[in-house]
Structure 1
């Protein structure tokens, strides 16, 4: 069996595009092989800043013979259909086609009988088109050529079964040559064995495996941090990003000037992480330490001293800007900034950020009372929560919105409750983000998200398919997470109704829009619960009962899943399906049972068990399910001993009513028809 090695060597590929490019290369090669009925034993793709590579093992040297019959249009089909079939198969006339008949008539058939040739020849024909059709989020042309690539393509290595596969594309001819590290080993390297590719490049100071680079960054940074009694602030995304910036990662430890350590730590971290790709360190008390770690791409004779000095100098300049914004912003209160919000449009049809802040404040006061939070603090925080958008710091570092507002509130002496609520009101910003830490923060966050949802619903701007430009799905999930993770029972419909009124939505539309928005939130809750292992059918069965309390819906879904996973629950579900099927077949929908007609002991026992359920439907859901579980034994006994379709019409009708009573009582707990 043979091996295939492909490497596309270029100028630096942006880190954010590397993983998708590696997947695309593997997918294209896999599809190419599949077209010939070939599958590699293994396929591994690699990506580094200057190269995109793939190794495939266990390939045949020659392609298998291919026999295929392609069915074409009917003989009497329109000429255009026949011409299209001929064109698609590279034919000029129907002379090479066979005619076969079936029940629908005569139709053309193309018999293909191809002898398999060398796979290397097929590769040489495939590679130029694959490279030309490669998709990048952004691509460029260079020189006088027409080839587009993410950055100028400099060399192509293609090796199959130990020999170069030669082809030309974009003015480049493929071969068996690659290049080492741009600075430490820039010489050409000839590869004769795909097995040696990774090792040969490692000897030339290039680690082609992104996972290896990530591990080297994590381990090296941790080692440096331990040397100053610190730990590296956890940041998997930054590790992945920096691994895409270097081919030979070398972590270096730098010092933050003490003059900047009284600036809010989020500012320091944002400057270091976003602008410089530095890792922050924390001391034993989890406070931000006066150090940073940068990842360089080479080993230097001075052990990185000049690089560290240069990075410290750049960081000092960056942090000087941060300190300036902090000092200037603290001279102005949040309240004094509110008039400036009139100049910022939230959305053309929904008005200014100032108007949004006023709506949030009214909603936050209502929500705070429902949450037993400080309504006055929540309302004040809501009025001021967007004021930091016009601060110098947030203008320069938009990712700090909310966070800086919290600091400015503390600077204004507004108290911890107000400051924390402003700081947290955007939370949760994503699946991995925490919810607000205080009740007041929850109130403002819920009010903000509800205002956003109802606002866009009121102007008919809703998510469609994969498009969600206003992040409304995230807003709905934020509402769900805040309520579910704090086990807060809160009826959403009245809040939605109030929010629509604040948007001055026409009264006749409000009821309809509330129902639509509740359905949207319910759909998001289903997605959230599926992530916790609760299948969609179980969730749908609970949702069918109707409720606008997401906590109750989530809790009931989890309890119903546990019930169905039990032996009693599984058997009862089967009994429900059987009973419902019998009643449906008989077209019987009455659940009125005449106790005097119950002759068999088993049907009497089942009737008594069903009667004992009275009142349980209004109790706690776990007790309701426990009560249903008591039906298991009498239901099993009934189906084993009692013939439903009795010759006596009255007895038959009564037994059908008994089964319908069973069905109706079970439906009070969930719509079991929806459970698969």
Structure 2
């Protein structure tokens, strides 16, 4: 079986595209070969800045001959139908056989496809792959029609057998004819050379100063960088993303370590790291004794006679210019921060957060109000939370964050410390953005958690208020991430907050802001008209007139301040609030499902009281999940469903609801009497456990009903001929349903 080697050699491929391009070459080529009948033993893809390589081992020498029988129309079918079948099968009428079928005699065509040599198939598949390659961006050059990420210079495509002989696949694309040669390093290589196999290819590339495997290049860079840093008593700051990117910029990595000028060592470590990474692709080297970034590592793509001294000197010169800018930003920002950051906060009044939702300053005011309200429930000081919310976004106006947006929050902490603000406020400036992803830590400090919750909840309610919700896979404002962040903050912190209350308050703030904006444009004149306009949009619903009565003071004049509005209409926004709470429930199910909880178990706990208390929901769901993992729990569910099905059918047939309380005096058999007793005991235990939020106890009390319910169904016929007994037993089933539903909505469970 021959081995296949392909190399597509071009100008530099952007580092961010290389890994995906190598995988696309592997998957598309192997899929095409298999579809054409050529199986293989294994395939590996590689990438460097100037080449994509594919090595396929154990490829079939030719595709097998195939024989297919295709059934056609009946022999007495119209000629046009028969001719269409002949064209589709690629045969003539003389090639057809007839065969008996349940519909009568039909034509059958035997289609034989002869096998084809591997090189013919490879050429066909490779041309299709190259011409339709999925580059994010591509270009044309010269007079050809071929598109590639950068000009494609050569194609190496050979099939080699066990004897070591290799033959070139006959292929030409836009004047580029496939061959058996390539070239090594752009500067240190010695021209083109021929290869006979993948092993020969890889070895000759290394001699020509090209390391083919990107993983090997990354390992070499990291090992050499850490060794040099260790020898100097330093340590390299780990950055896997940067390591992968740099490995895609060089074919022959040469690691060099340089010194940062003393003038810049006073800059925050994160500023040095970000500036060097973003502008120069340098690794930061830290002094473990001081924690400062004092050196850098750069990776060259060439060996020089002076061992990189000239390269380092040039890099240090450029780095000094970059860091001079960063130092200027830092010192200028510090002057404003020490003055109280008022200039930055004022500037945010002219920065639009979202066209309909107003400025960043308006958003900060809403976040501050909500943070102060939620803080006590998290064990945080309301004044500190409001103060933190007031300055948390101030660094968005700073020059440093304008230059490096990824430093937002972190610079806010530095500036708050420089302004002499309390440590809790400074920490919240950095932590209130968290968590940004599923693996990020959540804010641990109560003040930070309060601001983070307020920030995310304001974002969600704002976009809900203007009807900009996620749809399908589209979520341009990262609202799913915001909801998950709230869920994780609440659950990880063990906080007990009623989301409905804060959703209502913040939705109302947004609605008032939206309608005040319209009033300021002359569309609405008075607060009364604003309230009327809000009412038309269904915000207050049927309670609107009651709200208006509450708003009028003793002298008959309306109190339409925002504070009065919030106090008066706390829970009167059912539609938007319910919809947003349902969105939280959906994200909660996704989050808990990843932790092993079934979605139907979560559903069974969402409909009970406390559906806006996420910690309560999760405690119930975990208790129910644990019970369902036991034999008693699973069998109880089956018994409950049997009772509920019988009851539902009887209620539908009789047109009544059997929930009027069964009478134990009509119980005839022991099992029936035992069930009455068990239900009375369980009802007390479940109510007591629920009141104490002992959901494990409540589920255990419910599971204890398994045996008496099973025994009841074994011994008793519910639909008795005696109407009195039948009604009493159906009411007994109604009691089973009512008691079980106090612990969890078992009707939501699947199976």
Normalising by the residue count of structure 2, what TM-score does the alignment of the two structures yield?
A: 0.81
Q: Say if 2:362 is the partner of 1:355.
A: yes
Match of 2:218 in 1: 214
Match of 1:630 in 2: 704
Match of 1:590 in 2: 658
Structure 1 stretch 501-510 or stretch 122-131: which is displaced more?
501-510
2:247 aligned residue (205, 228, 243): 243
Alignment of 1:192-231 (within 5 A): 192-231=196-235
The answer (yes or no) to whether the contact 1:47–1:209 under 8 Å persists in 2 is yes
Q: Shift of residue 657 of structure 1?
A: 4.8
> What do residues 589-643 of structure 1 show as CA deviations (whole Å, max 9, x unaligned)?
7354442344443443343333222141423222212222323444455556666
Alignment of 1:415-564 (within 5 A): 415-504=422-511, 506-507=534-535, 508-509=538-539, 510-545=573-608, 547-564=611-628
Q: Secondary structure at the match of 2:288?
A: coil
Residues 594 and 424 from structure 1, CA distance in 2 versus in 1: closer, same or farther, beyond 3 angstroms?
same
Match of 2:333 in 1: 329
Match of 1:675 in 2: 750
The answer (yes or no) to whether the contact 1:49–1:245 under 8 Å persists in 2 is yes
Q: Shift of residue 94 of structure 1?
A: 10
Residues 350 and 57 from structure 1, CA distance in 2 versus in 1: closer, same or farther, beyond 3 angstroms?
same
Q: Say if 2:272 is the partner of 1:268.
A: yes
> What do residues 348-404 of structure 1 show as CA deviations (whole Å, max 9, x unaligned)?
111122221222222221122332312222222222222222221111111112222
Looking at structure 1, the residues matched to 608 and 378 of structure 2 have their Cα atoms a distance apart, in angstroms, of 25
Looking at structure 1, the residues matched to 114 and 708 of structure 2 have their Cα atoms a distance apart, in angstroms, of 69
Alignment of 1:289-328 (within 5 A): 289-328=293-332
Looking at structure 1, the residues matched to 709 and 308 of structure 2 have their Cα atoms a distance apart, in angstroms, of 78
Match of 2:133 in 1: 134
Structure 1 stretch 561-570 or stretch 99-108: which is displaced more?
99-108
2:257 aligned residue (253, 257, 266): 253
Q: Say if 2:249 is the partner of 1:174.
A: no
Q: Shift of residue 580 of structure 1?
A: 4.0
Structure 1 stretch 286-295 or stretch 393-402: which is displaced more?
286-295
Structure 1 stretch 253-262 or stretch 469-478: which is displaced more?
253-262
Match of 2:551 in 1: none
Residues 34 and 553 from structure 1, CA distance in 2 versus in 1: closer, same or farther, beyond 3 angstroms?
farther
> What do residues 224-269 of structure 1 show as CA deviations (whole Å, max 9, x unaligned)?
3322333332322222222222223333322222221221222111
Match of 1:277 in 2: 281
Match of 1:614 in 2: 683
Q: Secondary structure at the match of 1:318?
A: helix
Looking at structure 2, the residues matched to 486 and 79 of structure 1 have their Cα atoms a distance apart, in angstroms, of 77
Match of 2:17 in 1: 17
RMSD: 3.5
Match of 2:64 in 1: 64
Q: Tell me the number of residue pairs that the alignment of Structure 1 and Structure 2 aligns.
A: 675
Q: Shift of residue 46 of structure 1?
A: 1.9
Which runs of 5 or more structure 1 residues have no equivalent in the other structure? Answer: none
Match of 2:545 in 1: none
> What do residues 20-62 of structure 1 show as CA deviations (whole Å, max 9, x unaligned)?
2222222212321332354433222222222222222233211
Q: Shift of residue 465 of structure 1?
A: 1.5
Looking at structure 1, the residues matched to 105 and 506 of structure 2 have their Cα atoms a distance apart, in angstroms, of 66
Residues 179 and 90 from structure 1, CA distance in 2 versus in 1: closer, same or farther, beyond 3 angstroms?
farther
Structure 1 stretch 126-135 or stretch 636-645: which is displaced more?
636-645
> What do residues 551-599 of structure 1 show as CA deviations (whole Å, max 9, x unaligned)?
2223333333333223433333344444445555666873544423444
The answer (yes or no) to whether the contact 1:280–1:288 under 8 Å persists in 2 is no
Residues 182 and 596 from structure 1, CA distance in 2 versus in 1: closer, same or farther, beyond 3 angstroms?
farther
Residues 78 and 155 from structure 1, CA distance in 2 versus in 1: closer, same or farther, beyond 3 angstroms?
farther
The answer (yes or no) to whether the contact 2:160–2:196 under 8 Å persists in 1 is no
Q: Shift of residue 428 of structure 1?
A: 1.6
The answer (yes or no) to whether the contact 1:541–1:675 under 8 Å persists in 2 is no
Residues 457 and 180 from structure 1, CA distance in 2 versus in 1: closer, same or farther, beyond 3 angstroms?
same
The answer (yes or no) to whether the contact 1:159–1:194 under 8 Å persists in 2 is no
Which runs of 5 or more structure 2 residues have no equivalent in the other structure? Answer: 162-166, 513-533, 540-572
2:410 aligned residue (396, 403, 418): 403
Match of 2:159 in 1: 160
Q: Shift of residue 450 of structure 1?
A: 1.3
Residues 94 and 491 from structure 1, CA distance in 2 versus in 1: closer, same or farther, beyond 3 angstroms?
farther
Q: Shift of residue 435 of structure 1?
A: 2.1
Structure 1 stretch 48-57 or stretch 125-134: which is displaced more?
48-57
The answer (yes or no) to whether the contact 1:10–1:50 under 8 Å persists in 2 is yes
Normalising by the residue count of structure 1, what TM-score does the alignment of the two structures yield?
A: 0.90
Looking at structure 2, the residues matched to 66 and 9 of structure 1 have their Cα atoms a distance apart, in angstroms, of 36
Q: Shift of residue 193 of structure 1?
A: 1.9
Looking at structure 1, the residues matched to 109 and 450 of structure 2 have their Cα atoms a distance apart, in angstroms, of 69
Looking at structure 1, the residues matched to 41 and 575 of structure 2 have their Cα atoms a distance apart, in angstroms, of 57
Residues 577 and 161 from structure 1, CA distance in 2 versus in 1: closer, same or farther, beyond 3 angstroms?
farther
Residues 155 and 533 from structure 1, CA distance in 2 versus in 1: closer, same or farther, beyond 3 angstroms?
farther
Structure 1 stretch 279-288 or stretch 329-338: which is displaced more?
279-288
Q: Shift of residue 121 of structure 1?
A: 0.9
Q: Secondary structure at the match of 2:682?
A: coil
Q: Secondary structure at the match of 1:474?
A: helix
Structure 1 stretch 186-195 or stretch 337-346: which is displaced more?
186-195
The answer (yes or no) to whether the contact 2:388–2:451 under 8 Å persists in 1 is yes
Q: Shift of residue 174 of structure 1?
A: 1.3
Alignment of 1:45-194 (within 5 A): 45-68=45-68, 112-162=111-161, 163-194=167-198
Q: Say if 2:633 is the partner of 1:573.
A: no
Residues 448 and 658 from structure 1, CA distance in 2 versus in 1: closer, same or farther, beyond 3 angstroms?
same
Looking at structure 1, the residues matched to 602 and 467 of structure 2 have their Cα atoms a distance apart, in angstroms, of 27
Q: Shift of residue 190 of structure 1?
A: 2.2
